[in-house]
Chains A and B, each alone.
Chain A
Amino acid sequence: MNERTQLKKAPLAWRASAYAIMIAFALLTVFPLLWLGYSSLKPNAEIVKHPLALPQAPSLRNYVQAWTMGGLGISLLNSFVYTIAATASTLLLALSAAFGLAKFPFKSARFFTSAFAVGLMITVHAVIVPLFLLEVRLGLINKRLGVVLPYIAFNLPMSILIALSFVRGIPDALIESAEIDGARYRRIFWGLILPLSGPVVTTMAILSFLQHWNEFLFVFIFTTKAALKSLPVAITQFAGRQNIEYGLQYASLVIGILPMICFYFLFHEQLKKGFGEGALKE
Chain B
Amino acid sequence: MVNARAKKRSYLSFVLPAFIVYVSIMVFPVAFSLALSLTKWKGYGPIEFVGLQNFAKLFSDPVFLIGLRNNVLIVLVSVFGQIPLGLLLAYMLHRRMVRSSKTFEMLIFLPITISSVIVAQLWNRVFAPVGILPTIVRQLTGNAEYVMTIFESKAFAFVPIMFVLLWQHTSLYMVIFLANLQRVPDSVIEAAQMEGAGEGVVFRRIIAPILAPVAFINSILAISGSFKSFDLIYSMTGGGPAHYTEVMAVYMYNTTFVFQNYGYGSAISIVIILFIVAAILLTRAVTKKLNLE
Contact residues of A with B, CB < 8 Å? Answer: 3-4, 6-8, 10-11, 14-15, 18-19, 21-22, 25-26, 28-33, 35-36, 47-48, 51-52, 93-94, 96-97, 99-101, 104, 106, 109, 112, 115-116, 119, 121-134, 149-150, 152-154, 156-157, 160, 184-186, 189, 210, 213-214, 216-217, 221, 232-233, 235-236, 239-240, 246, 249-250, 253, 256-257, 260-261, 263-264, 268, 271-273, 275-278, 280-282
Give Cα A35–Cα B28 distance, bound, in whole angstroms: 47
CB distance from B133 to the nearest CB of A (A): 10
Please list the 5 inter-chain residue pairs (A to B) with the smallest Cβ-Cβ separation, ordered nearest first: A276-B179, A100-B14, A153-B25, A18-B97, A130-B32
Closest to B170 in A: A25
Q: Judge whether B89 is part of the interface by a CB distance below 8 angstroms.
A: yes
Of residues B25, B98, B132, B189, which shows the largest number of chain A Cβ atoms within 10 Å of its Cβ? Answer: B25
Inter-chain CA distance A131–B28, complex, in Å, is 9
Q: Give residues in B with beta carbon < 8 Å to A.
A: 7-8, 10-15, 17-19, 21-30, 32-33, 36, 43, 88-89, 92-93, 95, 97-98, 104, 106-118, 120-123, 125-126, 128, 130-132, 135-136, 167, 169-172, 175-176, 178-180, 185-187, 189-190, 193, 198-200, 214, 217-218, 221-222, 224-225, 228, 230-231, 234-235, 249, 252-253, 256-257, 262, 265-266, 269-270, 272-273, 276-277, 280
8 A–B contacts, CB within 8 A, in A order: A6-B186, A14-B92, A25-B170, A35-B132, A51-B135, A116-B18, A216-B231, A249-B125
A92 to chain B, nearest CB (A): 9
Cα distance A150–B104 in the bound complex, in angstroms: 36
Expressed in whole angstroms, the minimum distance between the Cβ of B94 and any Cβ of chain A is: 10
Neighbouring A residues of B111 by C-beta, 8 Å: 29
A48–B125 alpha-carbon span in the complex (Å): 12
A105 to B22, CA, bound (A): 22
Q: Flag if B95 contacts A10 (CB, 8 Å).
A: yes
Residues on B with C-beta less than 8 A from A29 are 107-108, 110-111, 167
Measured between alpha carbons, how far is A3 from B228 in the docked complex, in Å? Answer: 44
Whether A32 touches B132, Cβ cut-off 8 Å, given contacts A232-B118, A240-B121, is yes
Contact A125 B22 (CB under 8 A): no
Asked whether, in the complex, the Cβ of A47 is within 8 Å of the Cβ of B121, the reply is no
User: Is there contact, CB below 8 Å, between A256 and B118?
Assistant: yes
Q: Which A residues are CB-close (under 8 A) to B199?
A: 10-11, 14
B17: chain A residues within 8 A (beta carbon): 93, 96-97
Inter-subunit contact A125/B113 (CB<8 Å): no
Bound Cα distance from A8 to B199, whole angstroms:
9
CB distance from B67 to the nearest CB of A (A): 12
- Looking at B123, B125, B179, the one whose CB has the most chain A CB atoms below 10 A away is B125
Q: Which residue of B lies closest to A210 (CB)?
A: B113
Which residue of A is nearest B266, CB measured? A129
CB-contact partner of A268 in B92, B106, B108, B273, under 8 A: B106
Chain B contacts of A119 at CB under 8 A? 22, 26-27
- In the assembled complex, the Cα of A28 lies from the Cα of B224 at a distance in Å of 27
| CB atoms of B235 and A217 under 8 A apart | no
By the criterion CB–CB under 8 Å, are A115 and B19 in contact? yes
Bound Cα distance A96, B18 (Å) = 8
Query: Which single member of A52, A126, A268 contacts B33 (CB below 8 Å)?
Result: A126
* A residues in contact with B27, CB < 8 Å: 115, 119, 122
The answer to whether A32 and B25 touch across the interface, beta carbons within 8 angstroms, is no
Q: Which of B97, B125, B135 contacts A36, CB < 8 Å?
A: B125
Given A3-B186, A8-B193, A47-B130: A116 and B22 within 8 A (CB)?
A: yes
* Candidates B26, B200, B218; contact of A153 at CB < 8 Å: B26
